[in-house]
Each structure stands twice: as C-alpha cells, then as structure tokens.
Amino acid sequence: MTSHPDPGLRSVCVFTGSKPGASPCYLETAAELGRTLARRNIALVYGGARVGLMGAVADAALAGGGRVVGVMPQALVDREVAHTGLSELIITSDMHTRKARMGGLADAFLALPGGYGTLEELFEVITWGQLGLHRKPVGLLDSGGFWGGLQAFLAHTRAEGFIPETGLSVLPCEADPDRILDRLALAAG
C-alpha cells in the first residue's frame, strides 16, 4: 500500500449491487477494485452491506489494508445486512440521508454493475453535478460489457436532444480499475 493518498482522490463512493450478479466477472471486478483502492490509499465509501458486490469490494479493500466507510440506514442494519468489520459504519435514519452522507464523504463517484438502486444513485449524482450541487467526477467501472447498453441508451438520449453534447463526456467508462481511478483523479484535479 502507498504511504500517501492518491493525488486528487482521498475517497471514492462506490455504487454497486447487493447481489453478486449472474457472471463471476462481476465479483472479480469488485474485488479487484477493492484491492486497487487499498493499494492507492483511497478510502472506499459505500452502502455498508456485507453481501453481493458491495461486500466483495469492501472485503477486498479491508484485506488490502484500506479504509472502508459504510453508510447504511437503520432499517437495513436491523435486517442484518450491515458489514460488521468496516473501518467505520455510519448509521442514518433513511435512504435520502444515506445518499447525502455518502456524497459528502467522497471526492468522486464510481458505479459497478448493479440494479435499480445502483442506477438510481448513479443518475442522482450525475443530476446533482448538472445542477451545480457538486463538482465531483462520476465514472463507470465496466465488467463483462455490463455498461454497454447504458452507454448506447445515453447516446440515443443525446441524439434525441435530451442530454447536452457535453453530457456524455461526464461519464467515463473503463474496464480497468487503475484507468478509471486515474481519470477520476484527473477530473477531481
């Protein structure tokens, strides 16, 4: 692990699934990201779960000596899905407070494969950026071509006049954790 934080990034908020997904490559990518964050001394901020891809990225970051901060509403803690081995677990009253707290703790946002919750979190932080509520970079870590359909949809949305020309450039997508973190660090400047 490096002895100093990565220039431009001290922490990254990761949105990803509470399920492992159908392909083993999703778990592999989540674990690789966790190891990469630890090696680069970038803290992981995430939803706090011990299950699915969320658990895989957290476990790998912790195993690599990284700092991992989970943020979870009390209702999910009560359902026993909270990761109990984190550097810090912040318990919130509800999902809205959770997302605001995660966003406040992070220098950048990164989405891995996931379902409705992951997509909702991703689009919310993109929208917050468009509205000027933050200036933090947002990116996609691709795994097995997962984000290809979304990228095609966004290009279609742009062609139909609903996203500005610059709107597509604010969401870089890479398959390699180091490359996407380099791009986010550069954008965070």
**CATH label of the domain that carries residue 66:** 3.40.50.450
The two tokens of residue 6 are 């990565």
The answer to whether residue 139 sits within a structural domain is yes
The answer to whether residue 64 sits within a structural domain is yes
- Contact partners, residue 144, CB within 8 Å, separation at least 6: 23, 25, 26, 29, 113
Q: Give the bridge partners for 49, in sequence order.
A: 82
The reported pLDDT for the residue numbered 80 is 83
Which residue segment(s) compose the domain that 131 sits in? 11-188
The answer to whether residue 137 sits within a structural domain is yes
The reported pLDDT for the residue numbered 1 is 38
Q: 87-121 pLDDT, tens per residue? A: 999 999 999 999 999 999 999 999 999 999 999 99
Q: 3-41 pLDDT, tens per residue? A: 444 567 999 999 999 999 999 999 999 999 999 999 999
How many domains are there within the chain? 1
Share of the chain above pLDDT 70, in %: 95
Q: Burial of 20 by CB count in 10 Å (0-12 exposed, 13-18 middle, 19+ buried)?
A: middle
The answer to whether the CB of 121 falls within 8 A of the CB of 111 is: yes
The answer to whether residue 4 sits within a structural domain is no
